[in-house]
Amino acid sequence: MTRFIMRRLAEIVPVLFVIVTLVFFMIRLAPGGPFDTEKSVPPEVLENLEAYYHLDQPLYRQYLMYLGRLVHGDLGPSFKNSNFSVNELIGLGFPVSLELGLYALAVALVIGLASGISASLKPNSARDYVPMSLAMAGICIPNFVLGPLLVLVFALWLGWLPSSGWDGPLYKILPALTLGAAYAAYIARLTRGSMLEVLSQDFIRTARAKGLSEARVVLRHALRGGIQPVVSFLGPAAAGLLSGSFVIETIFQIPGLGRLFVQAAFNRDYTMILGTVLFYASLILVFNLAVDVIEAFLDPRIREEHRNHA
C-alpha cells in the first residue's frame, strides 16, 4: 500500500507540469491583458509595468522563469493585487473556503447517506419517494436560486440567521446548507441506487439466512459495497467543495477562494489564474488518491490489485 501511494504521489508531478504548461499558454491566447483598463494608460507607465512583471520578455522566457519560481513553491506576484503574492492570496482565501467546504461536506454526507440508505431499505414506499423527490429537486435547483431563497426565508422573514458575512457560527449555516444541498441530493441518489443493488445480491440473502438482525445486515454486510460509488464521487466533489464556490461566496459575501479564482480570470491576472488552477488541480489529485486508498480499504479485491501492480 505504501508503495502504491508513493507511486501515485510521484505521478502527480508530471500531471501538474502538463497542467501548468497548458494553462500558461492558453491564458495568453485570450484577448486583453492584466493592465487593460477602460481609461487609457500612458504608454510609459504600461511599459514600466510590463517590464516589472517581465511581460516584455519573449513568452518562452516568461514560461521558464515561472517554472523556475514554481519549483521553489513560489506562485509569483499577483498582477492585480499589487501588494500581494499569489501564495498570500490563496493563504487568505483557502482557510475560509476550507471551513465552509467542510461544513457543506458534513451536511452533504449526513443528509445524503442517511436518506439514501433509508430509502434503499424500503424501496417504492413513502420513505423512498419523499426524500428522492426532494433530492431530484435539490439537484435541479441551482445554488444561485436556493441561496437567495434561504436568505429570504431564514434571514429576512424569520430573522433567525444573518443574511451575509462571515463573522461567527450563525453566519456559516446558510452558506453551508446552500453549498451542501446539491451534493446531499446527489449522494442520496447514489447511495440509494448502489445500496439497492448490493441488497439484492446473494450474499445479503446469506447474511439474512444466518439470522442476523436487519441493522447488522445493512451496516456490516451491505454498507461497504454500497458506499463505494459515493466514495468515488467524493474525491472530485470534496475538491470542488473545499476550494470554494464563486456563486456561494458572492451571494453570502464570503472572502473565500472561489471569488479570487473568478476575479482573476476576469482580470487576466495571469499568475493568479495559474496559481488557483494549480491549487485546485493539486486538491483534485490528492483527493483522488485518497479515494483510491479508501476504496482499497473497503474492498479487498482492489487492495490485491494494487499489490500486484506495485
Partner 1 sequence: MPLLDIDNLRTWFYTRNGVVRAVDGVSLQVEPGETLGIVGESGSGKSVANLSYLGLVPSPPGRIVSGTAMFDGIDLIKAPGPVLRSIRGKRISMIFQDPMTALNPYMTVGKQVMEPLLVHDGLGRAEAADRAVQMLESVGLQDAAGPEARMRAYPHQLSGGMRQRVMIAMALVTHPQLLIADEPTTALDVTVQAQILELIKQMQQRLGTAMILITHNLGVIAGTCDRVLVMYAGRFLESATTRDLFYSPRHPYTRALMDSMPSARKPGEDLYTIPGLPPELTSEIVGCPFAPRCAHAKDVCRRRPALLQEVAPNHATACTRVQAGEL
Question: Which CB sits closer to partner 1, 91 or 300?
Answer: 300
Torsion of CA 265, 270, 273, 275, to 10 degrees: -170
Residues 6+ apart with CB under 8 A from 23: 273, 274, 277, 278
Check residue 77 and report its DSSP letter. Answer: B
Nearest distance, CB of residue 230 and partner 1, angstroms: 15
Nearest distance, CB of residue 304 and partner 1, angstroms: 8
Q: Which of 17, 160, 203, 266 binds partner 1 (CB under 8 A)?
A: 203
C-alpha cell at 169: 457560527
Query: Which residues 122-161 are close enough to bind partner 1 by CB under 8 A?
Result: none
Q: Which of 7, 54, 61, 205 binds partner 1 (CB under 8 A)?
A: 205
Q: What is residue 284's three-state secondary structure?
A: helix
Task: Please tell me the count of residues contacting partner 1 according to CB under 8 A.
Answer: 22
CA–CA gap between residue 239 and residue 218 (Å, rounded): 29
Nearest distance, CB of residue 227 and partner 1, angstroms: 11
Grid cell 442520496 is found at 188
Nearest distance, CB of residue 172 and partner 1, angstroms: 36
- Give me the 216-255 binding string for partner 1, x by CB under 8 A, dash otherwise: x---xx--xx------------------------------
Nearest distance, CB of residue 128 and partner 1, angstroms: 13
Q: List the Cα angle 131/137/138 in 5-degree steps.
A: 85
- Other Cβ atoms closer than 10 A to 290: 16
Any contact of residue 202 with partner 1 (CB under 8 A)? yes
Question: Which CB sits closer to partner 1, 93 or 225?
Answer: 225
Long-range CB pairs of 18-24, under 8 A, 24+ apart, other chains included: 19/277, 19/278, 19/281, 20/66, 20/67, 20/70, 20/274, 20/278, 21/63, 23/273, 23/274, 23/277, 23/278, 24/63, 24/66, 24/270, 24/274
Any contact of residue 21 with partner 1 (CB under 8 A)? no
Check residue 80 and report its DSSP letter. Answer: S
CA–CA gap between residue 79 and residue 4 (Å, rounded): 40
Nearest distance, CB of residue 224 and partner 1, angstroms: 4
Any contact of residue 8 with partner 1 (CB under 8 A)? no
Question: Which CB sits closer to partner 1, 111 or 195?
Answer: 195
Any contact of residue 211 with partner 1 (CB under 8 A)? yes
Question: Which CB sits closer to partner 1, 199 or 264?
Answer: 199
Q: Which of 82, 133, 201, 253 binds partner 1 (CB under 8 A)?
A: 201
256 with 249: CB under 8 angstroms?
A: yes
Q: Which stretch binds partner 1 (CB under 8 A): 90-98, 100-108, 215-223, 252-260?
A: 215-223
Residues that bind partner 1 (CB under 8 A): 201-203, 205-213, 216, 220-221, 224-225, 298-301, 304
